[in-house]
Chains A and B, each alone.
Chain A
Amino acid sequence: MNSTARRRSYGVKGAPYAFLLPATVLFALFFALPVGYALWLSFRKVKVSGLGLGSGARTEVWAGLENYTDALSDSELLDGALRVLGYGCVVVPVMLGLALLFALMLDSEKVRLTPFTRLAIFLPYAVPGVVAALLWGFLYLPDVSPFHFVLDRLGLPRPDLLDGGPLYLALSNIAVWGGTGFNMIVIYTSLRAIPAEVYEAARLDGATPLQIALRIKIPMVAPSLVLTFFFSIIATLQVYNEPTTLKPLTNSVSTTWSPLMKVYRDAFGDGDIHGAAAQAVIIACVTLLLSFGFLRAANRRQKQEAAR
């Protein structure tokens, strides 16, 4: 931009602020205010005096850190957190591993039918989580499941997919199914952005496609891998829809299966909005801590690699 242009754009001072007004107002109302309100609620509690009858018997008072200590010593929340951590340790690596594998395969030479396979693998992105859980839920249901049908015909034992250990895998599978395609596309587009010359030298040196994939392609798309990891961690720790949808189909999913489900139950089932707010704040902090921790670790590693 030349100097006259710069002076001009300083001349139209009001315009950018006016243009950003709608976004700012919406942000204040639907992001900042709710977050502030949640924080405020998390430090308050309801004090019941006497029998708690009549007006004025229930008053809101300052609670300090009480809600937080309650939440942190709440075994239901802790159990839910452990369940979701276990679930996340399956979902995130499997989903992104598959996404990377498919993206590399799409990007390899002489591969056929890619318009079809690419679209088919991306398709689950268009299916709402609730509907995905519903479809898989029926596929797991012994009376309807094709897996059970086949195992039965073969005379093999039929595991109950909606209970115990298999339930984790069943839930993980739904998330993997829903998320692989989108992440594949993100990784694939960044693979396509690598200029072809980069491979030329390696190819002339006689590198195999596998070596090219491992030594050149994967390091080149590392930034998108980091980003997909980052967002997958956030999404996975917030899991809510899938276990909630499976709940009507099985008794093994409790109303507090994931921490988020517990927040919902405490806030709307038990009416304990203060405790629920404290839990929500804790979940948000842990999520951000884990995801940013990962981002920092990944960045440090990349810097080290670059320095080497």
Chain B
Amino acid sequence: MSSLAVPQAEPVAGSTPGTDRDRPPLRRRIALVPTVTLLLGALYCLLPVAWVVIAATKSGRELFSTFTFLPGTGFADNVRDLNAYRDGVYWQWMGNSALYAGLGALLSACVSAVSGYALAVYRFRGRETLFNVLLAGVLMPPVILAVPQYLLLAQADLTDSYLSVLLPQILSPYGVYLARIYAAAAVPADVVEAGRMDGAGEWRIFTRVALPMMVPGLVTVFLFQFVAIWNNFLLPYIMLSDDEKFPITLGLFTLLEQGANSPALYTLVITGAFLAVLPLVALFLVVQRFWSLDLLSGAVKS
């Protein structure tokens, strides 16, 4: 199984051990065109990130007067200003995002696990119908969902609450799909059968035997959903009006909206954007090796 931290698979044919000793010209040893193309792609992708890192160090005056990629001197001040902005509401937003994404993704992984397992291991009437109906959820455009979700939750008096953002994002049809594929591959039928022979109940077999086997796939489900919720903007934008409950995306957006009238807030927005990018990038660097994206393409083939 490969992961994002990829698969340096079997040595490529053609590069026999002898070639290195013969020292062919550099061009023969490095494929120049692909390497340079990829470096250009990396440069393009890192450009805005590099910019925000540098811009976050600039004071308001420096931002508009010095060359873009020249570091400034105001990072500490910017962070202090951000902390002071509305009594540190920025950190509240970060905390909210962590809560929405962390708890939401955890619940999502649990629901996906139990559903995917049931769909993979049992044969029962209506299995494929149920699966297809759940999958159709992937295709449901968020717009046709978000507005009526708001109106329905308003009738239950649940709008503008943490639950209004959390609940609609627990079921991830995509997560159920991945969990099913993973369970089918990772949980052998005879292991389940052996559990039954030992007299274990179905739930116990699932939690004690199957669940540990499904963990790597569930990590993937968790991460996908974490990123999806963390990056979501439309749902909280529609649901929430109290900015104490905003996630970071919505918070930064409102900050930018106010900044349109007073450019002094630009430095706050930029510093805020920089600090908001950090946690996810850090998460990626740490977990990328556990993230098996080949589930995606494996899914395509079936």
- A252 interface residue per 8 A CB criterion: no
Is A146 engaged at the interface, CB distance under 8 Å to the other chain? Answer: yes
> Which residue from A6, A113, A131, A187 sits with its C-beta under 8 Å from B39?
A113
Contact with A along B238-282 (1 / 0, CB 8 A): 100000000011101100110110000010011001001100110
Whether B38 contacts A114 by the Cβ 8 Å rule is yes
Residue of A nearest to B189 (CB): A1
Nearest residue, chain A, Cβ from B67: A149
A289 to chain B, nearest CB (A): 12
Known contacts: A20-B118, A35-B148, A189-B296. The answer to whether A122 contacts B4 by CB under 8 A is yes
B233 touches A129 (CB 8 A): yes
Are A248 and B233 also in contact (CB < 8 A) when A116-B42, A126-B284, A135-B273 are?
no
Stretch at the interface among A51-59, A81-89, A263-271: A263-271
Q: Does B189 lie within 8 Å of A283, measured CB to CB?
A: no
Give a binary string over B108-138; 1 marks a CB under 8 Å from any A CB, 0 the rest.
Answer: 0001101101110111100100100110010
Q: Please measure, in the bound complex, the distance between the C-alpha atom of A135 and the C-alpha atom of B15, giving whole angstroms.
A: 43
Interface pair A20/B115, CB less than 8 Å apart: yes
* CB-based contact A145/B45 at 8 Å: no
* Chain B proximity of A62: nearest CB distance (Å): 18
* A102 and B38 contacting across the interface, CB-CB below 8 Å: yes
In the complex, B151 has a CB within 8 A of chain A: yes
Q: Which residues of B contact A115 (CB under 8 A)?
A: 5-6
Identify whether the interface residues of A are mostly helix, strand, loop, or mixed. Answer: helix
Residues of A within 8 A of B10 (CB): 196
Known: A126-B280, A135-B48, A203-B14. A33 touches B300 (CB 8 A): no
**Least Cβ distance of A201 to chain B in Å?**
12
- Count of chain A residues with Cβ under 8 Å from any Cβ of B? 111
Contact A281 B300 (CB under 8 A): no
Would you call A105 and B37 a contact (CB within 8 A)?
yes
**Interface-side segment among A9-17, A157-165, A300-308:** A9-17
- The complex places the Cα of A146 from the Cα of B52 at a distance, in Å, of 12
Instruction: Report whether B69 and A177 are in contact in the complex, using a CB–CB cutoff of 8 Å.
Output: no
Q: Mark A258-288, 1 if CB is under 8 A from B, else 0.
A: 0010011001100001001100110110011
Report chain A residues within 8 Å CB of B249.
Answer: 128-131
Total CB contacts across the A-B interface at under 8 A: 312
A108–B31 CB distance below 8 A: yes
Task: Give Cα A130 to B269, complex, Å.
Answer: 12
Q: Mark A172-208, 1 if CB is under 8 A from B, else 0.
A: 0000010011000111111011001001100100000
Within 8 Å CB of B148, what residues of A? 33-35, 37-38, 41, 277
In the complex, chain A residues whose CB is within 8 Å of the CB of B134? 23, 27
| Inter-chain contact B48/A132, CB cutoff 8 Å | yes
Whether B253 contacts A130 by the Cβ 8 Å rule is yes
CB of A191, distance to nearest CB on chain B (Å): 9
Which residues of chain A from 103 to 137 have any CB-CB distance to chain B below 8 Å in the complex?
104-106, 108-132, 134-136
Q: Does A218 contact B (CB under 8 A)?
A: no
CB distance from A103 to the nearest CB of B (A): 10
Given known contacts A31-B137, A123-B46, A110 and B67 CB-to-CB distance under 8 angstroms = no
Q: Is the CB of B111 within 8 A of A22?
A: yes
Q: Tell me whether A264 and B230 are in contact (CB under 8 A).
A: no
Complex: chain B residue closest to A148, CB-CB: B68
Interface contact B64-A144, CB-CB below 8 Å: yes
Q: Does the CB pair B234–A126 fall under 8 Å?
A: no
Residue of A nearest to B126 (CB): A17
Cα–Cα, bound, A280→B288 (Å):
37
Q: Is A90 an interface residue (CB 8 A)?
A: no
B2 interface hit (Cβ, 8 Å): yes
A240 CB–B CB distance under 8 Å:
yes
Contact B6 A26 (CB under 8 A): no
| B41 touches A (CB below 8 Å) | yes
Interface pair B144/A280, CB less than 8 Å apart: yes
Closest to B108 in A: A26
Question: What are some 21 contacts across the A-B interface (CB < 8 A)?
Answer: A22-B111, A23-B134, A29-B167, A33-B148, A110-B31, A112-B35, A123-B281, A123-B284, A126-B283, A127-B49, A187-B297, A189-B294, A189-B297, A192-B2, A196-B13, A200-B13, A203-B13, A238-B142, A244-B253, A248-B256, A288-B139
Closest 9 CB pairs of A and B: A120-B42, A19-B118, A190-B297, A146-B68, A26-B171, A105-B34, A16-B122, A34-B148, A248-B260
B residues sitting closer than 8 Å to A (CB atoms) are 2, 4-7, 9-10, 12-15, 29-31, 33-35, 37-39, 41-42, 44-49, 51-52, 55, 63-64, 67-69, 111-112, 114-115, 117-119, 121-124, 127, 130, 133-134, 137, 139-145, 147-149, 151-152, 167-168, 170-171, 176, 189-190, 193, 196, 202-203, 206, 227, 230-231, 233-234, 238, 248-250, 252-253, 256-257, 259-260, 266, 269-270, 273, 276-277, 280-281, 283-285, 288, 293-294, 296-298, 300-301
Besides A15-B118, A113-B39, 20 new A-B residue pairs in contact (Cβ under 8 A), listed by A number? A9-B123, A16-B122, A16-B127, A20-B114, A27-B171, A98-B41, A102-B38, A111-B31, A118-B6, A128-B231, A128-B249, A132-B48, A144-B55, A187-B297, A188-B6, A192-B7, A193-B298, A209-B31, A234-B141, A245-B253
